[in-house]
Amino acid sequence: MPLEKYQYLSNVWRDGIFDNKVVFCTGGAGSICSAQVRALVHLGANACIIGRNVEKTENMAKDIATARNGAKVIGIGAVDVRNPEALTAAAERCVRELGSIDFVIAGAAGNFLAPMDQISANAMKSVIDIDVLGSWNTVKATLPALLESAKKHRTDGKTEPPNGTGGRIIFVSATLHYTGTPMQSHVSVAKAGVDAMAMAVAIEQGPKGINSNVIAPGPIADTEGVARLSKEDGRDRSMKGVPSGRYGTVKEIADATVYLFSDAGNYVNGEVLVVDGGQWHTSSLGGQWVYPDFLLSGETVSNVAGGKKSKL
C-alpha cells in the first residue's frame, strides 16, 4: 500500500534529481530493494523490478508507482536471476518500454540459518548461484545499457551534469564475512564474492564511465531478513549489540542508494558503504545463539523463518 514519504526517503533530497532516468532492480519486490526503488521513483526515475513471484512483483510495481504521479514502474515476474537468458530478456524489455537503464540494483539473494555440517552441497550451490552468479548475470544483462547511459551522463566533478547522472550499479551485500558469522558460512562466502565482483566491475568498467559500489545493510527492522534470521524474543537483546542502539530502517538504505546514484556520489567507485549502525564491529548474531555451545550441540536452528530447509 502507499507509504508516507519519510518511511522510505529523507527530506534532504531535491525532487526531480532523477528525472528521465530508469532503474533496473533484481529482488525488487523485497522489503529493502522496494524501498530503494521507491525512493528513486519519488525523485523522478521510472523503474523495472524483477522477481520470481509474478503476483508479488507485479503488485509491488503498482505500489511503488504511487510514489510519484505519472511514474512508470514495470514488474516482471517469473524471472530467476540464475537464468541469464531470462534476465537479458527482462533488461531488453526495460529499455524497450522505458527507454534506458541508467541505474542497476543487484538485490536478489538467498539465505537460511545452519551450521556448515548441516549444509548440503546443493544448498551451498543454491546460495552461491543466486547471490554470485545472479549478480554476474545481472551485470552482463544490463551492461550494454549502462555503458550507453554512462556515455550520456559522464561527470567531471567541476560542473553540474546537464543530464544528471547515469551508468551506476549497486550490489546489495552484507557484513557477515567481515569478522565471520556462525551459521552463515554459505552466505558469507557468497557475499564476499559479490563484494569482489563489484570491485572488478569498478576497475574494468570505471574507465568507461561506470560507477560500481556495494551497500552492506545491517539488521533492518520490519524486513524479511530480520524475520527469517532472528528469533522474535531475542531481538531486543540483539539490538544491544548495535552501537546506535536500534535496528535500521529501509529508509536509511534507500538514502544511501540515492547518495551513490546522485551527483553527490560522482567520485565514489569500487567502495563498500556499510549501513548498520556500527553493528558489525560488535559482531555476529547478537547472542541469540550462545557461541560455541549451540554449534557443539548439533541442534538444528528452530523458531525462525529462515531455518535450514530439509529439501536443501
CA angle 270, 272, 274 (to 5 degrees): 165
Domain contains 303:
no
Instruction: Give 310's pLDDT tier (boundaries 50, 70, 90).
Output: very low
pLDDT for 235 equals 59
Residue 302 belongs to some domain of the structure: no
- Torsion over CA of 203, 207, 210 and 215, rounded to 10 degrees? 30
Confirm whether 66 is domain-assigned.
yes
Residue carrying C-alpha cell 523503474: 47
Cell 545493510 belongs to which residue?
A: 217
Beta carbons of 194 and 128 less than 8 angstroms apart: no
179 versus 215: the higher-pLDDT residue is 215
* 286: confidence class by pLDDT, cuts 50, 70, 90: very low
**304 occurs within a structural domain:** no
Instruction: Give me the domain span that covers residue 117.
Output: 5-297
Backbone angles phi, psi at 137, to 5 degrees: -60, -35
Is 212 tagged catalytic? no
Residue 259 domain-assigned? yes
Pairing of strands 73-76, 46-50: parallel
Say if 306 falls within a structural domain.
Answer: no
Active site residue 191: yes
Number of domains in the chain: 1
**Which residue out of 21, 191, 251, 308 is catalytically annotated?**
191
Q: What is the DSSP string of 241-277?
A: TSTTSS-B-HHHHHHHHHHHHSGGGTT--S-EEEEST
CB distance 193 to 125 below 8 Å:
no
- Which residues are within 8 A (CB) of 213 and not within 5 positions of it... i.e. 6 or more apart? 168, 169, 170, 171, 198, 202, 260, 265, 268, 269, 270, 271, 272, 273
Question: Region 88-106: what's the mean pLDDT?
Answer: 98
CA distance 50 to 31: 13
Q: What is the CATH number of the domain that holds 74?
A: 3.40.50.720
pTM of the shown model? 0.89
Any domain includes 311: no
Whose CA is closest to 249, among 12, 69, 31, 1?
31
pLDDT at residue 135 in the model: 98
The pLDDT tens digits for 206-241 are 999 999 999 999 988 876 655 555 555 555 667 777
Three cell numbers written together for 129 = 548461484
Distance of alpha carbon 214 from alpha carbon 81, whole angstroms:
18
Q: Distance (Å, rounded) from C-alpha 145 to C-alpha 91?
A: 8
pLDDT tens-digit profile of 57-70? Answer: 999 999 999 999 99
pLDDT score for 228: 53
pLDDT of residue 290: 66
pLDDT value of residue 236 = 66
Percent of the chain surpassing pLDDT 70: 88
Q: How many CA atoms lie within 13 A of 181 on its CB side?
A: 29
What tens digit of pLDDT does each residue of 34-59 get? 999 999 999 999 999 999 999 999 99
Residue 294: closest CA among 113, 154, 121, 162: 113
Percent of the chain's residues with pLDDT above 90: 70
pLDDT at 85 over 50: yes
- Residue of 31, 34, 100, 173 marked active site: 173
Would 307 be classed as within a structural domain? no
